[in-house]
Amino acid sequence: MKQIKYGFLFVGLLCFVASMAMGCESSYKAKKPEAVKAAEKVQKDEKKAAEETAKKAEAAKVAKAEAKTTNTAADDVSCWGKDDPKASIKAIDIDGQKFNLINNYRLEAAKPDLTKPLVIGVLTDIKNNIASNMKNLEGFYAEFKKAGVNAVVVSGDTAEKYAMLKPLFEFFGKKGLLTMVIIGNREAKNDYAMAISEAAKKYPNLINLNTIRSVDLGAMTFVSMPGYYDANYIHNGPGCAYTATHVDATKKLVLQSKDPVALISHGPPRGVGKNAIDNAIEAGNVGDPRLTQLIKETGINLGFFGNIHEAGGKAVSGGEYNKALEQNKDYSNLYIHPGPADSDPWKMNDGTISRGMAGIVTVKVSEKGEVSAQYRILKAK
């Protein structure tokens, strides 16, 4: 009985304390309504800020996880090929010219004609095979034919998926010109690999620069840097996100070359200022600083780039990659971003509107190995 009595007393005491507290709270609210309202707002704001911080942290975590899925194994053959010393030398005939494929990694002209200039058609950022884009390409190839183009460089972002990539690769193949194609940051890696592999079986003039990393045409050796340096900008992962390891392998290829070298990469080197070929609207200079260092260290004479649409439509000199060179004049080093071949209207950094662009580069190399190159830009009509 005593236990029950004391229990009732304890409960009664709790009720008394609670009522006093509630009474105090009610009394305080009645006397200080504005202070209470301000305190509640601070508490509400702090809670909202904490929730937003938590959301941002979760979003960053997801983005980081997604970025990791676009990273590619360092030895992924579909992205960067493999120098296989055990592979036998394969003879290839491209439009009547003999080539040797060495180690399934390097292609060399057997008997290059060094008496004539090397004329290169340049394309980038086609994006898809819609009718207006195909019309652009037909127009550019007509100009290539007039100029006596020997080979074509397609420096990435040809399209995204197999259904668009395959007909574009077949288009290049049917034209018969030696065509060197590289993956950019838009293509789905597996779709690209399957589409170009199938097309190349039918058209041996179509060269996949993901696997054949060096093409020696006698006057000039073209060395590829497939993919893109920032995995966060791979549009259709898993793509080919290259690292310092891949840049080192590319450097080795450059130094092994017995001819002057032209570098082919989708992303441009890091430049300086708004006139550089890597200057993106609102983002500034977004090129790869490792490519800038690679070119500086190895003395690469020519470069073929793309990706930053608005920064294209010109060739520049080295160093800061922002001094536009005059067309149809000779230069000892020249790095071109022809602008997007895509027909979608795009405002360029010089204020003009692109509805499709391409380029032609003419290269001469003296007996002493001195390079002389000039370019001109083609615009879709």
The identity of residue 143, as a single letter, is E
Lowest average pLDDT, out of 41-45, 73-77, 241-245, 296-300, goes to: 41-45
Burial-class residue 78 by CB neighbours within 10 Å (0-12, 13-18, 19+).
buried
**Cβ partners under 8 Å of residue 230, min gap 6:** 185, 241, 288
Provide the sign of the torsion angle of the four alpha carbons 198, 199, 203, 208, taken in this order: negative
Provide the CATH topology of domain 75-379.
Purple Acid Phosphatase; chain A, domain 2 (3.60.21)
State the pLDDT confidence band at 360, using cuts at 50, 70 and 90: very high
**Cβ partners under 8 Å of residue 55, min gap 6:** none
Spatial contact of 295 and 318, defined as CB atoms under 8 Å apart: yes
Spatial contact of 358 and 121, defined as CB atoms under 8 Å apart: yes
pLDDT of residue 186 exceeding 70: yes
State the pLDDT confidence band at 8, using cuts at 50, 70 and 90: very low
Confidence (pLDDT) at 72: 67
pLDDT of residue 73 exceeding 80: no
Does this model's pTM top 0.85? no
Q: Which of the two residues, 282 and 225, has the higher pLDDT score?
A: 225
CA distance 349 to 278: 11
Give the pLDDT mean for 313-324.
94
Give the pLDDT mean for 48-66.
55
Give the pLDDT mean for 44-64.
59
CA distance 319 to 273: 12
User: Beta strand pairing status for 118-123 and 151-154?
Assistant: parallel
pLDDT of residue 65 exceeding 80: no
- Give the strands of the sheet with 371-379, arranged side by side: 206-208, 178-181, 151-154, 118-123, 357-365, 371-379
Please give the torsion angle defined by the CA atoms of residues 305, 311, 317 and 320, in that order, rounded to the nearest 10 degrees: -110
Determine which helix (DSSP H) or strand (DSSP E) holds 355, and give its type and residue range: none
Determine which helix (DSSP H) or strand (DSSP E) holds 345, and give its type and residue range: none
pLDDT of residue 52 exceeding 80: no
Confidence (pLDDT) at 7: 46
Q: What is the pLDDT of residues 80-137, one digit of tens each?
A: 999 999 999 999 998 889 999 999 999 999 988 888 899 999 999 999 999 999 999 9
Length of the chain: 381
Q: How many CB atoms lie within 10 A of CB 273?
A: 12
Q: What is the pLDDT of residues 137-165, one digit of tens each?
A: 999 999 999 999 999 999 999 999 999 99
Spatial contact of 164 and 129, defined as CB atoms under 8 Å apart: yes
Confidence (pLDDT) at 62: 40
Lowest average pLDDT, out of 94-98, 248-252, 265-269, 338-342, goes to: 94-98
